[in-house]
């Protein structure tokens, strides 16, 4: 586990914003995992009315989940680029709005590794869930501590993440999804010429389904 420290909140926000501007067109989430999230929600969560996605950059997951589920989904993004995209709110995901508390059916994020205070972040997310609510957290090798840098300031192995999550919450399921990554054409051509391969790689995406711990009798 690794967590970067910042001299101030202003420094943290500046770094997050700068990296967001460079990567604003990039999409990290895969359609396969969003289909899994939507199916799980439809099969296990009754009367779904509202979902949140945290750290969404250009809001791709917001748009996709709204289409798959047909319910309002709101995304948060700390950078001012949030205003460019529909249904995306400029917001620090460490904070909660009063109207969210106990009123969110599901939360999805692949950006939890952008947290400067993971304990506070997860606690605030989980208190937003309705009693039946679920939090879906993506984990890949790029969330491990070896990838910690700049905006990706928190990282841990899958084993460490399982321990971190289950300290205070229940892990209902881990879904393993094979995701094919296609690089840009320029990189693909370079790999083909120099290395004799296209540069396509398959990565395993893990989706952790987390719920609030119910009091046991």
Q: Which two tokens stand for residue 204?
A: 């395993």
Distance CA 125, CA 47 (A): 20
Mean pLDDT for the stretch of residues 181-206: 58
Mean pLDDT for the stretch of residues 94-98: 97
Cβ atoms within 10 Å, residue 152 = 18
Burial of 2 (0-12, 13-18, 19+ CB in 10 A): middle
Q: What pTM was estimated for this model as a whole?
A: 0.88
Distance CA 91, CA 185 (A): 34
Give the tens place of pLDDT for each residue, 165-174.
999 999 999 9
Which domains does the chain possess? 2-178+207-212 (3.40.50.150)
Distance CA 126, CA 72 (A): 19
């Amino acid at each position: 586990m690794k967590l970067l420290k910042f001299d101030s909140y202003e420094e943290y926000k500046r770094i997050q914003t700068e990296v967001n501007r460079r990567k604003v067109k990039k999409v990290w989430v895969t359609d396969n995992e969003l289909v899994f999230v939507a199916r799980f929600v439809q099969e296990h969560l009754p009367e779904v009315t509202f979902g949140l996605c945290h750290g969404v950059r250009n809001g791709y997951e917001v748009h996709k989940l709204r289409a798959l589920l047909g319910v309002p989904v709101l995304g948060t993004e700390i950078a001012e680029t949030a205003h460019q995209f529909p249904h995306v709110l400029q917001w620090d995901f460490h904070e909660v709005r009063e109207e969210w508390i106990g009123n969110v059916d599901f939360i999805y994020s692949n950006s939890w590794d952008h947290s400067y205070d993971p304990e506070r972040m997860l606690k605030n997310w989980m208190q937003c869930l309705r009693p039946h609510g679920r939090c879906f957290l993506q984990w890949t090798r790029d969330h491990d501590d070896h990838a910690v840098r700049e905006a990706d300031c928190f990282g841990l192995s899958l084993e460490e993440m399982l321990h971190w999550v289950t300290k205070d919450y229940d892990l209902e399921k881990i879904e393993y999804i094979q995701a094919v990554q296609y690089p840009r054409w320029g990189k693909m051509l370079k790999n083909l010429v120099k290395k004799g391969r296209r540069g396509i790689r398959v990565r395993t995406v893990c989706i952790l389904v987390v719920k609030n711990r119910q009091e046991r009798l």
